[in-house]
Chains A and B, each alone.
Chain A
Amino acid sequence: MRALWRRWRWWLLSGLALLLVGTMVAGIPGSDSYAPLDPRSGAPGGTRAADQLLQQRGVTSRTATSESELTAALRADDTTVVLSYPDELPYQELARLAALHRGARSRLVLVAPDQPVLNAFSPGISTYYSDADGNTPVEPSCKLPEAVNAGAAQLGGQSYDPGPSDTGCYPHGGTRRSLVSRTTGTQQVVVVGSARPFTNERLDREGNAALALGLFGAHRQLVWQTPGHNVAATATGGHKTIDELIPSGWHWAALQLTFAALLAVVWRARRLGPVLSERLPAVVRASETTEGRARLYHRANARGHAAETLRRATRRRAAAALGLPHTAGDPEPTALTEAAAARLGRPAADLQHLLYGPAPTDDAALLRLADELDDIEWQVRQP
Chain B
Amino acid sequence: MALTGRTALIAALGALLVGLVLPSWTRIAVVMLPLLAAIATDLVLAAPVRRLTLERSGNPSVRLGEAVDVDLLVGNPSRRPLRARIRDAWYPSAWAPGSSLTASRHTVAIPAGERRRLTTRLAPTRRGDHHSGKVTVRSLGPLGLAGRQANLDAPWRVRALPPFASRKHLPSRLARLRELDGRTSVLTRGQGTEFDSLREYLPGDDVRSIDWRASARRSVVAVRTWRPERDRHVLVVLDTGRTSAGRVGDAPRLDAALDAALLLTALATKAGDRVDLLAHDRHRRTAVAGRSPSEILPAFTDAMALLEPALIETDLRAMVSTALRMAPHRSLIVLLTGLDAHQIEDGLLPQLPLLTKRHEVVLASVADPRLDELVNTPRTTVRDVYGAAAAEQTRADRRRTADLLTRRGITVLDAPPEAIAPALADTYLTLKAAGRL
Contacts and interface: CB of A to CB of B under 8 A. Distances in A.
B18 interface: yes
A286 B389 contact: no
A287 B23 contact: no
Contacts of B12: 257, 260
Chain A: interface secondary structure?
helix
Given A248-B23, A287-B368, A278 B15 contact: no
A306 interface: yes
Nearest to B338: A286
Contacts of A302: 386
A293 B11 contact: no
Nearest to B93: A278
A256 interface: yes
A288 interface: yes
B20 A306 contact: no
A252 B24 contact: yes
B246 A263 contact: no
Interface string A145-164: 00000000000000000000
Contacts of B246: 284-288
A10 interface: no
A358 B371 CA distance: 26
A278 B370 contact: no
Given A276-B133, A367-B382, A294 B308 contact: no
Interface stretch (B25-33, B47-55, B325-333, B351-359): B25-33
B73 interface: no
B89 A276 contact: yes
Contact of B391 (A253, A282, A290): A290
B386 A298 contact: yes
B385 interface: yes
A24 interface: no
Interface stretch (A30-38, A122-130, A267-275): A267-275
A313 interface: yes
Contacts of A218: none
A253 B19 contact: yes
Contacts of B368: 286-287, 290
Contacts of A309: 389-390, 392-393, 396
A285 B247 contact: yes
Interface size class for chain B? Answer: 35 or more
Given A274-B134, A283-B252, A328 B370 contact: no
Interface in B383-433: 383, 385-396, 403, 407
A250 interface: yes
Contacts of B387: 291, 294
A3 interface: no
A366 interface: yes
B259 to A, nearest CB: 16
A116 B2 CA distance: 72
Contacts of B350: none
B385 A270 contact: no
Contacts of B18: 249, 252-253, 255-256
A267 B392 contact: no
Contact of B15 (A256, A293, A328, A370): A256
A256 B13 CA distance: 9
A310 B382 CA distance: 13
A297 B23 contact: no
A293 B19 CA distance: 73
A305 B374 CA distance: 17
Contact of A267 (B7, B136, B374): B7
Contact of A250 (B19, B245, B393): B19
6 contacts: A253-B18, A261-B8, A276-B91, A281-B309, A282-B245, A285-B247
> 5 closest Cβ contacts across the A-B interface?
A286-B246, A253-B19, A273-B136, A260-B11, A252-B23
Interface of A: 247-257, 259-261, 263-264, 266-267, 270, 272-274, 276-278, 280-291, 293-295, 297-298, 302, 305-307, 309-310, 312-313, 328, 363, 366-367, 370-371, 374
Given A282-B311, A298-B386, 10 more contacts: A276-B92, A284-B245, A285-B370, A286-B248, A290-B394, A293-B390, A294-B389, A298-B382, A306-B385, A306-B386
Interface of B: 1-5, 7-9, 11-12, 14-16, 18-20, 22-24, 27-28, 31-32, 85, 87, 89-93, 105, 126, 133-136, 138, 149, 151, 245-248, 252-253, 308-309, 311, 368, 370-371, 374-375, 379-383, 385-396, 403, 407
